[in-house]
Chains A and B, each alone.
Chain A
Amino acid sequence: MLSRELKKGSAELIVLSIVEARPRHGYEISKLIELRSGGEIKFHVASLYPLLYRLEERGWLKGRWVEKPGQRRRRFYTLTAEGRSVLDRQRETWQKFVRAIAAITEVEHA
C-alpha cells in the first residue's frame, strides 16, 4: 500500500499540512512551503495553483473569496473534513515510509 499512497503523495501532503492550522491564500502557502523547508522545496505559481484546484475539486480543500476594503480580493483555502482525514492518513503513511527508509539506509551503512 505504501507506494500507491505515496505516488499521489508528497505534494498533496505538503499543501494539506500548510492549511491545517488555518485558512491561507495561495501566495502565503507558497511562501510557507519555502520557509518551512528551509528553501529546499519551492512551488511556483505554475504548479501550485493547479494543485490547489485539484485538491479543491476532490473536496479536500475549500476556496473562498475574501474582500477587504483597499485590497484586492483574495482567495483563502480551508481544509475540509474529508481533507483532514486524508491528511491524517497521508501523514501516517509518509512517516512509515521515512522510518522504513531510515531503517534500510542504516543497515546499508553498517
Chain B
Amino acid sequence: MPSWSEELEARLAGLRLHPAREKDIVDELSEHLELRYAELRDRGVDETEALALVRAELLHDDALADFMRPLRQANVPPRTPLPVGAPRARLLADLRQDLRYALRQLAKSPGFTAVAVLTLALGIGANTAVFSAIDAILLKPLPYPDADRIVTVWQREQGGTERDLAAPGNFLDWRERSTSFEALAAAEPYSHGYLAPDGPVTLRSWVVTENFFDVVGVPPLLGRTLRPGDNQRGEARARAVVLGYGLWQRRFGGDPGIVGKALTLDGESVTVVGVMPARFEFPVGRDMWVPRTYEGWEPRNRTARFWHVVGRLKPGVGIATAAAELDAIAAQLATENPRTNPNSGIAVVPLAEHLAGRAPRTLFLFLGAVGLVLLIACVNIANLLLARAAQRQQEFAIRATIGADRRRILKQTITESLLLGVLGGACGLAIAALGLAVFEPVPVASVPHAPAPGLDARAFLFASALALGSALLFGLVPALQIARNAGLRGRLQGGTSSTPAARRFRGALVVAELALAMVLLVGAALLLRSFAAVLDVDRGYRTDNVLAMSVQAWEYYPEPAQRRLFVEQTLARIEELPGVAAAGVTSSLPLAEDIGGDTATFTIVGRPEADAGGSLGAHAAAVTAGYFRTLGIPLRAGRLFAPTDDADSPRVVVVNEAMARRYWPGEDPVGEHIVLSFNAGPTEAEVVGVVGDVRDALQADPQPSIFVPHAQQPTGSLYFTVHAAGDPTTLVRAVQEEIWAMNPAMPFARVTTLDGLFDESLRDRRSMLLLVGAFSVTALALAAVGAYGLVSHETSRRSHEIGIRVAIGASRRRVLALVVGDGLRLALLGIGVGGALAVAAARALQGFLFGVSAFDPVTFVVIALLMLAVTVLASLMPAWRAARADPVVALRL
C-alpha cells in the first residue's frame, strides 16, 4: 500500500494551513486515496495502473491547492515566527504553481502562443535595439572626467551658421580675457605626409594649443601628453607628437618602446612623446595630436575661421554664464576691430550635444516608430486574448463553480500574460541582437565617441520593463473580463459566446491598430517621397564618371609659386592620360569634407555698406577652369579663368548665379569689383564670369559662391577632379602615378568618385527610410492580422444567422458583402482616426522631409486606399468561407 502523505504535503505546501489542520487534511485525503486504490485493485486493475490513475486524480489540473487557496483555513496567519526563508519558500511555491498552470495553458494552444510571442518579440526587439542605440549615443556620458564641464565654443555668424569655427586672433583674445574656463584650447585638423614602408600615406592630426590636454583630463597610456614647452619651436628640438591608440596599433604594431622614437612627418623629424588610450578620440577621431606653433600672420588673423575651440568650464560655472562672458568679450572685440569682427556673438555648446548632432532627432523618430509597432503588437495580443477568453469561458465557469474566486482567476490569467511577456521579451532580446548585427553596417546615426550599441545590462533592463509593461497592457483588460464573466453564463451558453460590449471593445482595438499602422505608413510614405524628391533635385553638376582625389601639398611645396607649378604640370600630365575627358583642381568639393576652409567674406566696391565696414559672407573655393568642365558646371555669363589669369595679372573671380541674384539682382555682375578675404588678407578682384548654381547640401538652396583662380591663390589643400570617358575607378592608379611622378612622397588623403559621395550623402536618409518602411509594413501586417481575426471570429459567431439568410434566399454575393462590410467599417474608422493622428505626427516629421509637405493630401489618400485594400483583403477570406458554407451545416451548428 503506497503512502500518500508526502505527495499530499507537497500539494498543500503553498497554502498557509495551520499545521494541525494540514495533518487532518492529509489524513482524510490519504484515506480517500487508499480506498480509491483498493477499489481499483478490486476491479482487477493492475497495481501500476491503479497507482497511476489515483495519482492522476489527485494531481488533476493542480486543482487541490487552487481550490483550497481561497478558503479561510488555507490563509492562517503564522502564530509563531517561521524559520527564516519559509515565507519566501511558500511564495515561491505559489508562483511555481501559477507558472506551471500558465505554461500548461499556453502549451495547450501552441498557435496562439506562437503568434503572441512572435508579435511581442518583434515589438520588444525593435524597441530594445533602438534603445541601445539611444543609450550608446545619448545617455551614456562621454568617457572623460567631469565630461559635463567640457564644451565647444563657436563664433556665430551674422545671419549665417550658428556654429562657425573661430579665427586664431579671436580665440587668443577669448582665452586671455575670459575667466569662466579652467582651460580653453583650440585644435585644427591637419594632414601630414608620412612615408610608410608601403608608400606615402596621410596621417590626420589635430594641431592643438599647448593647454589642449588640460581640457580633456585623460592621462596617456604611454609617455606623456603635450605641455606648454612643446609649442615653442627651438632650432635643435624636434617637435613632439602624441599618437592615438589606433595609429599606434596600425602603423607601429603597438610597439611598447615607441615613446622617444623619431618619425618623419612632412619631411621633418618629430619625436613621439606619448600614446593615448584606446577609444580616446578628441574632439573627434584623428590619428594624432601635434603642438601648435604660432607663426607669421596666424595669431593676428581674425577673418580666417578654422580653429575648433574646446573648453573645460571651472567647477560651478554654467554654460549660460560662460556664454554671457564670451558674448561680452566678442562685443569688445567688435568695437576694437570693426573691420574684421561683426558683433554676432558666440555659442557655447556642451561637447556631448555637439557630437550628437542630428542623431537625437533621428533616434527619437525611430523610438516613436518602434513604440507604435509595440503598441500595435500589444493591441493585437489583447485582441487574441479576448478571443481566447470567449472560448475559455466554460473552463473558467467550472473553476468558479468549484470554488476558485475572482481574484484567483485574475491572478492566474495575469500570470499567463506575464509569462507571454517574459517569453516575448526573451525572443525580443534575440531579435534586438540580430537587428543590431544586421543594421550595424547601416550607421543610422553615427556619432563620434559613442560606443557601438550593444545588449548590455541596461538594454536587458529596458527589455524586461517593456515585457512587463506590455504584459500588463495587453493582459489586464482580458483578465478582468474573464474574471467578470467567470460564472454560470459561460457554462450554460457554451464556449464561443461573447457579449456585445466585449465585441465592441475588440472592434475598437482593431480600429486602434489600423489607426496606429496608418500613422506609420503615412510617415514612411512621406519619407519615401522625400527620398524621391532628393534624387530628383537638379544638383547643378554631374556625378557620374567623376573621380576626386585629395592631397595636401603644403609641406611638399611651401612656396606659392611651387604649388602653382605643381598643379599646372600635374593637370597637364593627367589630361594626357587616355580615357580622361577633363581634369581640374578645387579646394572645395560639393558633398565632400572641407579640406582647406571654404568660406570667405567680401564687400562690393561702390556699395554704401562696404564703406560702413560691413562685410558679407559667401562660400568660396580656389579652382582651375578645368574644375568647371569636369563637373559640367555651365558658364552663364562672361568667361571662365584663362591661363592669363596668373599671379602677376589683375585678380579675377567667377561667381555663381545665386550670388549674382542676391547681390546684383537684375544686373550683370560681370565687370563689378569686390574686396575679398579668403584664407588671406583682403584683395580687390573683378568679377569676370557667372557659372551655374551647385547644390552642396541637397536640401538647401544653393549658397552664393565665389571662385578664385588657383593660379592667383595657390592653396595646398586640393581635390584633383577627373572626368573619365568610362568607369572613373579604372583611372585611379594612372592618376596616382602621374602625381607621384611629380612627387613620389605625395600621399592621397582621400580617393573617391562623385557618385560615391552622393551615395554617401543619402546614407542616413536611405537607412531611415528603410527602417521606418520596415516598421510600417510590420505594423500594417499586424493590423491586418487583427482585422482578419476579428472578422473571422464575428463571421463564425454569426454562421447561424448567415445560414438562415442563405436558406431564405440571400445570394452568395450578398453574404460576401455582409462580411466584407464588417471589415470595411473597421477600415474606415481606422483610417479616420489614423488620419487625424497622422496629421499630428507628421508635424514631428517635418524636419526630415524634403520637397513634400507633411500634410501632403496625395500621400494621405494613397495610404488610406492602401489600408482600405489590405483590410478588405483580410476580410475576404472569412467572407468567402461564409458565402460557401452549406446553410444546412450552418443551421445545425
Q: What residues of chain A have their CB less than 8 Å away from a CB belonging to chain B?
A: 3, 6-11, 25-27, 30, 44-47, 49-51, 53-54, 57, 65, 72-75
- Report yes or no: B36 in contact with A46, Cβ–Cβ below 8 A: no
Q: Are A46 and B60 in contact (CB under 8 A)?
A: yes
Binding site for A on B (CB under 8 A): 24-25, 27-29, 31-36, 57-64, 67-68, 70-73, 400-403, 487-489
Chain B residues with CB under 8 Å of A44's CB are 57-58, 60
14 A-B contacts, Cβ less than 8 Å apart?
Answer: A6-B488, A8-B401, A9-B401, A11-B402, A25-B31, A30-B32, A45-B33, A45-B36, A46-B60, A47-B67, A47-B402, A49-B32, A51-B67, A72-B31
- Residue among A25, A30, A46 making CB contact with B63, cutoff 8 Å: A46
Q: Are B67 and A3 in contact (CB under 8 A)?
A: no
Contact B71 A26 (CB under 8 A): no
Cα A49 to Cα B68 with chains together (Å): 9
Main secondary structure of the interface of A (DSSP, over half): helix
The 10 tightest CB contacts between A and B, nearest first, are A50-B67, A44-B57, A46-B63, A46-B64, A7-B488, A27-B35, A7-B487, A27-B32, A46-B60, A50-B68
Contact of B403 among A6, A50, A72, A73 (CB under 8 A): A50
Provided the pairs A3-B488, A11-B401, A45-B57 are in contact, do residues A53 and B32 lie with their beta carbons within 8 angstroms? no
Known: A26-B31, A49-B32. 13 other contacts (CB 8 A): A3-B488, A9-B488, A26-B29, A27-B36, A46-B64, A47-B60, A47-B403, A49-B28, A51-B402, A53-B25, A54-B71, A57-B72, A74-B28
* A46 CA / B34 CA spacing, docked (Å): 14
With both chains docked as a complex, state the minimum distance between the C-beta of A94 and any C-beta of chain B, in angstroms.
12
* Whole-angstrom CA separation of A83 from B71 in the bound complex: 18
Interface centre among A8, A11, A50, A75 (most CB of B within 10 A): A50
Q: Please pick, from A3, A10, A45, A57, the residue contacting B401 in the complex, using a CB distance under 8 A.
A: A10
Bound CA–CA A3/B401 (angstroms): 12
User: How many residue-residue contacts, CB under 8 A, span A and B?
Assistant: 84
A46-B67 CB under 8 A given contacts A11-B401, A26-B32, A51-B403: yes
Q: How far is the CB of A28 from chain B (nearest CB, A)?
A: 9
**B397 nearest in chain A by CB position:** A7
> Across the interface, which residues of A come within 8 angstroms of B403, CB to CB?
47, 50-51, 54
- List residues of chain A with CB within 8 A of the CB of B71: 50, 53-54, 57
Given A6-B488, A50-B403, check contact A45 B64 (CB 8 Å).
yes
Contact of A3 among B27, B60, B64, B489 (CB under 8 A): B489
Query: Which among A9, A30, A53, A74 is the interface contact of B68 at CB below 8 angstroms?
Result: A53
Cβ–Cβ < 8 Å partners of A27 in chain B = 31-32, 35-36
Q: Which residues of B contact A46 (CB under 8 A)?
A: 57-64, 67
From residue A75, how far is it (CB to closest CB) to chain B in Å?
5
CB-CB < 8 A to A11: which residues of B?
401-402
Assembled-state Cα–Cα distance A27/B63 (Å): 17
Give bound CA distance, A11 to B491, whole Å. Answer: 13
Is the CB–CB distance between B64 and A50 below 8 Å? yes
The listed residue (A6, A47, A57, A74) touching B31 by CB distance below 8 A is A74
Minimum CB distance partner of A75 in chain B: B28
Q: How far is the CA of A69 from the CA of B776 in the complex (A)?
A: 78
How far is B34's CA from A26's CA once the two chains are assembled, in angstroms? 12
Of the listed residues B25, B70, B400, B403, the one surrounded by the most CB atoms of chain A closer than 10 A to its CB is: B403
Which B residues are CB-close (under 8 A) to A57? 71-73
**A residues within 8 A CB of B400?**
7
Q: Is the CB of A50 within 8 A of B27?
A: no
CB neighbours of A7 from chain B (8 A): 400-401, 487-488
CB neighbours (8 Å) of A50 from chain B are: 63-64, 67-68, 71, 402-403
Expressed in whole angstroms, the minimum distance between the Cβ of A74 and any Cβ of chain B is 6
Residue numbers in A under 8 Å from B72 (CB-CB): 57
Find the residue from B24, B31, B400 having the highest chain A CB count within 10 A. B31
| Nearest A residue to B72, CB-CB | A57
Across-interface contacts of B29 in A (CB, < 8 A): 26, 45, 49
Residue contact B25 to A49, C-beta cutoff 8 Å: yes
**Cα A53 to Cα B73 with chains together (Å):** 9
Q: How far is the CB of B62 from chain A (nearest CB, A)?
A: 8
Which residues of A sit under 8 angstroms from B25, Cβ to Cβ?
Answer: 49, 53
Chain A residues whose C-beta falls within 8 Å of the C-beta of B57 in the assembled complex: 44-46
Q: How far is the CB of A34 from chain B (nearest CB, A)?
A: 11
Measured CB to CB, the closest approach of chain A to B668, in angstroms, equals 95
* Complex interface: chain A residues within 8 A of B60 (CB): 44, 46-47
Within the assembled complex, what's the spacing in Å between the Cα atoms of A8 and B397?
10
Give the CA-CA distance A9 to B487 in the complex, in Å: 10
Cα of A51 to Cα of B71 in the assembled complex, Å: 10
**Cα A50 to Cα B405 with chains together (Å):** 13
What are the residues of chain A within 8 A of B33 when measuring CB–CB? 45
Task: Give A3 to B490 CA distance when docked, in angstroms.
Answer: 11
Shortest Cβ distance from B60 into A: residue: A46
B333 → chain A closest CB, angstroms? 87
Instruction: Report B50 CB to chain A, min CB distance, Å.
Output: 14
Give the complex CA separation of A34 and B36 in angstroms: 13
Residue of B nearest to A5 (CB): B488
Q: How far apart sit A103 and B137, CA to CA, in the bound complex (Å)?
A: 73
Please give, as numbers and ranges, the residues of chain A lying within 8 Å of B31 by CB-CB distance: 25-27, 72, 74
Q: B879 → chain A, closest Cβ, in Å? A: 29
In the assembled complex, the Cα of A54 lies from the Cα of B488 at a distance in Å of 19
In the complex, residue of chain A having the shortest beta-carbon distance to the beta carbon of B68: A50
Residues of A within 8 Å of B67, CB to CB, are: 46-47, 50-51, 54
CB A5 to nearest CB in B, in angstroms, measures 9
Cα A19 to Cα B57 in complex, Å, equals: 23
Contact B28 A26 (CB under 8 A): yes
Would you give the shortest CB distance from A39 to chain B, in whole angstroms? 14
Name the residue on A nearest B400 (C-beta). A7
Give min CB distance, A12 to chain B, whole Å: 9
The answer for the CA separation of A3 and B489 in the assembled complex, in Å, is 8
Inter-chain CA distance A49–B489, complex, in Å, is: 25
Shortest A62–chain B CB gap in Å is: 14
Nearest CB in chain B to that of A26: its residue: B32
How many angstroms from the CA of A49 to the CA of B67 in the assembled complex? 9
Q: How far is the CB of A80 from chain B (nearest CB, A)?
A: 17
CB distance from A40 to the nearest CB of B (A): 15
- Report the Cα distance A30→B403, complex, angstroms: 17
B63 partner residues in chain A, CB cutoff 8 A: 46-47, 50
Distance in angstroms between the alpha carbons of A8 and B488 in the assembled complex: 8
Residues of B within 8 A of A45 (CB): 29, 32-33, 36, 57-58, 64
Contacts of B401 in A (CB 8 A): 7-11
Which residues from A are CB-within-8-Å of B402? Answer: 11, 47, 50-51
Interchain nearest-CB distance for A90 vs B (Å): 13
In the complex, what distance in Å separates the CA atom of A11 from the CA atom of B60? 17
Contacting residues, chain A, for B68 (C-beta < 8 A): 50, 53
- In the assembly, what is the distance between CA of A109 and CA of B33, in Å? 45
| Chain B residues, Cβ within 8 Å of A74 | 28, 31
Residues of A within 8 A of B27 (CB): 72-73
Q: Are A49 and B35 within 8 A (Cβ)?
A: no
Quote the shortest CB–CB distance from B407 to chain A (angstroms).
Answer: 15
B12 CB to nearest chain A CB (Å) = 11
Q: Which residues of A contact B32 (CB under 8 A)?
A: 26-27, 30, 45, 49
Q: How far is the CB of A14 from chain B (nearest CB, A)?
A: 11
Contacts of A51 in B (CB 8 A): 67, 402-403
Contacts of B70 in A (CB 8 A): 54
Task: Report the separation of the CA atoms of residues A9 and B71 in the bound assembly, to the nearest whole angstrom.
Answer: 18
Tell me, in angstroms, the Cα distance from A15 to B72 when the chains sit together: 20
* B487 surroundings in chain A (CB, below 8 A): 3, 7
| Closest chain A residue, CB of each to CB of B34 | A72
* Closest-CB distance, B104 to chain A (whole angstroms): 15
Please indicate the chain A residues that have their CB under 8 angstroms from the CB of B24 in the complex: 65, 75
Residues of A within 8 A of B34 (CB): 72
B residues in contact with A65, CB < 8 Å? 24
Q: Which residues of B contact A10 (CB under 8 A)?
A: 401
Closest to A43 in B: B402
Nearest chain A CB to B72's CB is how many angstroms away? Answer: 5
Report how far A12 CA is from B403 CA in the complex, Å: 10
Of A8, A10, A47, A49, most buried by chain B (CB within 10 Å of CB) is: A47
